[in-house]
Amino acid sequence: MKEITAILFMMGLLFSSQDRQLKIVNNQPGDSLLVGFKEVNMDSLNMLNRMAYADTANFMHQKVYPCARCFLRPEAAQALEKANEIAQDKGYRMVVYDCYRPITIQYKMFEIVGNPEWVARPTKGSNHNRGAAVDVSLSDENGNLLDMGGAFDDFSEVSHYSYSNLNKEAKANRKLLRNIMVRAGFIPYESEWWHFDFKQKRYPASGLVWSCND
């Protein structure tokens, strides 16, 4: 009986810990800024703004972001800016597809995809929901996308970093992108060549939604 009680106690600690991690911070009336986040000013940094969910050209065919702005936790934003500097030193531009994603959008995505390999379960939360993940690629100086062997948000094995049936150019470009992001402090995700996590610090999931007027 004591052993069962101890197991139940440990399970309770586990679930309460998960609940704390997923405690959602939401907008309050009158809020216009995302407290605890930093905006990455893509225009001033000469990044290519391709925020996919601020348009209908995405796998949901719906615009689910109010506008194409990139917010991240300050440390993650600084790391992305460092990655951009490394890319520019090599003659490339950073292409940004996604940054912070409100967890309400995560629920909508998971309803459509239903596969946690591609879209994290909203009950667990994605690092996108924490402001600590980015979806990125590279272009040349003129904004022409580098060949990565597959499109952003292609939910198939083609998107696996180590997918074998790629031409040499695509393999080299994936390796280039990965090396830049790792040097800047990000961790790659093997199932999606474009996804990188910033895991040096743990952040809570957030439901904050940005304004387009400030």
Which residues are marked as active site? 192
- CA angle, residues 67, 119, 56, in degrees to nearest 5: 35
Query: What's the rounded Cα separation, in Å, for the pair 158 and 123?
Result: 27
Helix (H, G, I), strand (E, B) or coil at 191: coil
- Helices and strands in the chain: count of H runs, count of E runs: 4, 7
List, in order, residues 6 or more apart from 103 with CB less than 8 Å away: 24, 122, 125, 129, 205, 206, 207
Instruction: State the Cα–Cα distance between residues 44 and 37, nearest whole angstrom.
Output: 18
Chain centroid to CA 56: 18
